[in-house]
Amino acid sequence: MIWEALGSVVLGLAVAYAAAARLPGRFPNQALVFATGPVAALLGGIVTRVVLGPGHTALTLVAAAAVSVALLSLLLSENVRSPGLPPTADIPGTPPV
């Protein structure tokens, strides 16, 4: 069980790193991303281990990754401008401010 828990934490850290690298401007706090990913994966791995029992390591790690992705998606910020647009650029199709 300790190896499944450790694997879940490492997998959650990898998911958090990938999310932070792929969407750098969408997360309000990078430290929160790197804390949420492993903790969510650990929680998902433990819950899956309790539900399925021993002997389902692959499913436990898949569920751990899924819980990590789901909780990290809750941290995504909506108020992000495209990096190519200046802060005062007019966006076509929107009324002027």
pLDDT at residue 53 greater than cutoff 80:
yes
Q: Are 77 and 28 in contact (CB under 8 A)?
A: yes
d(CA 39, CA 34): 9
Burial per residue of 17-45, b for 16 or more beta-carbon CB atoms within 10 angstroms, e otherwise: eebbeeeeeebeeeeebbebbbbbbbbbb
* CA neighbor of 17 nearest in space, from 85, 78, 65: 65
> pLDDT tens digits, residue range 9-20?
999 999 999 999
Q: What Rg, from alpha-carbon coordinates, does the chain have? A: 18
pLDDT bucket at 41, cuts 50 / 70 / 90: very high
Can you give the pLDDT at residue 77?
82
pLDDT average, residue stretch 24-50: 93
More confident residue, 91 or 86: 91
